[in-house]
A and B are shown apart, each in its own frame.
Chain A
Amino acid sequence: MSEQVQAGTARLERGYRRVLACYPRSFRAENADEVLAVLLAAAAAGQARVGWAEGWDLVRGGVRMRLWPAASRPRAVRAAVTLMLAGAAAELAALITVVVTSGAVRAAVAAQHPATGNGVLVHQVAVLAGAPLAIGMWLWLAWANGQGEDWARMISAACFCLLTLSGLGALSQHAATYAPASMIAAATVWAIGLSSVVLIFTPAAGRYYRPQLAQQ
């Protein structure tokens, strides 16, 4: 091997190692040398730089592994975590909906109940104040459930009950008539909550949260 080719390979190897830094530490500890060998074997003759396409493919894999680590996490739990992240996004969308439609809702309520106002407005204020908290809650529960914390499962179930109660409360105040857009958003969030809670209480997920029971 000529000196020039050797220098090129060393440079390419350093480049690959830099890109591999976007993978989780535990994955790198076990697999970095192996992945590097595959990358170098697949590299074109005389290649000295990491190509755009392969660099992008590596970064995408690393980001995916960090956001949705697969290591010993059952599919049901992975799906639940993804749903909880979607819940945070839906909550953000609900917040935006309330902000955008608040004028129209207030006008609708004022036309019907000029003197007293209505519980729908209370619900709207609750969403405005509570949404940042709820977004934080979704993200925190997504993380904790991903870690297999059994208490996170219980808190998720409790939050879902609260979500159901607050939704029913809003419905009893005729929110569906006055604020249809924010009720659709709330229903979406509720459906996401229901699916994720069902998933974390499946038997497959149960073994992940309580490994000591699964071994008996």
Chain B
Amino acid sequence: MQEATFLILTALADGSQHGYGIITEVAQISAGRVRLRAGTLYTALDRLRADGLVAVDGEEVVEGRLRRYYRLTPEGTAVLAAEAARLQANAAAALARLRLGLAGGLA
């Protein structure tokens, strides 16, 4: 899973968001490192909707502009949970080996 996709799913994990909301959430989650652009966001959303991981959760018009809200589907939640567990296991393995390497280097 690409990082942008992972972060979009993460932004939707605790409730629905509209397009610009996802961009600001992703910036916040990644501590400002990932600034999603609209083209990237909507290409990813198009794909995620086709795969049934994300669904539309209503629309509203704010100041004459259309806002569409997106939410995770149960399948999307499961895929995100599996991917997060995989990343966590990888990160834990990396940190454990780094600690070993550091201890070995000092000895």
Q: Which of B62-70, B80-88, B90-98 contacts A (4 or more CB under 8 A)?
A: B62-70
Do the beta carbons of B50 and A72 come within 8 Å of each other? yes
| CB proximity of B27 to chain A, nearest CB, Å | 10
Nearest chain B residue, comparing its CB with the CB of A40: B65
* B residues in contact with A162, CB < 8 Å: none
* Contacts A70-B46, A71-B46, A75-B51; A57 near B19 (Cβ below 8 A): no
Do the beta carbons of A60 and B39 come within 8 Å of each other? yes
* Contacts A34-B19, A35-B19, A70-B50; A61 near B39 (Cβ below 8 A): yes
* A residues in contact with B46, CB < 8 Å: 27, 65, 70-71
Do the beta carbons of B41 and A62 come within 8 Å of each other? no
Query: What string of 1s and 0s marks CB contacts (under 8 Å) between B28-70 and chain A?
Result: 0000000001111111001101110000000000000111100
Task: Tell me the interface secondary structure of chain A in the complex.
Answer: helix
* B residues in contact with A53, CB < 8 Å: 37
Do the beta carbons of B43 and A65 come within 8 Å of each other? yes
* Contacts A42-B20, A70-B46, A71-B46; A33 near B65 (Cβ below 8 A): yes
Interface flag for B9 (CB, 8 Å): no
Size class of the contact patch on chain B: 10 to 19
Interface flag for A149 (CB, 8 Å): no
Do the beta carbons of A54 and B19 come within 8 Å of each other? no
Interface flag for B23 (CB, 8 Å): yes
Interchain CB contact (< 8 A) of B39 among A33, A36, A57, A70: A57
Nearest chain B residue, comparing its CB with the CB of A58: B39
Do the beta carbons of B38 and A38 come within 8 Å of each other? yes
Interchain CB contact (< 8 A) of B66 among A37, A54, A70, A71: A37
* B residues in contact with A60, CB < 8 Å: 39, 43
Interchain CB contact (< 8 A) of B38 among A42, A64, A71, A74: A42
Sample (14) of A-B pairs whose CB atoms are under 8 Å apart: A34-B66, A34-B67, A34-B68, A37-B20, A37-B65, A38-B19, A38-B41, A40-B65, A54-B38, A60-B43, A61-B39, A64-B43, A70-B49, A73-B50
| A residues with CB within 8 A of B | 27, 31, 33-42, 53-54, 57-62, 64-65, 70-75
The 6 A-B residue pairs with the shortest CB-CB distance in the complex, in nearest-first order: A61-B39, A37-B65, A57-B39, A70-B50, A58-B39, A61-B43
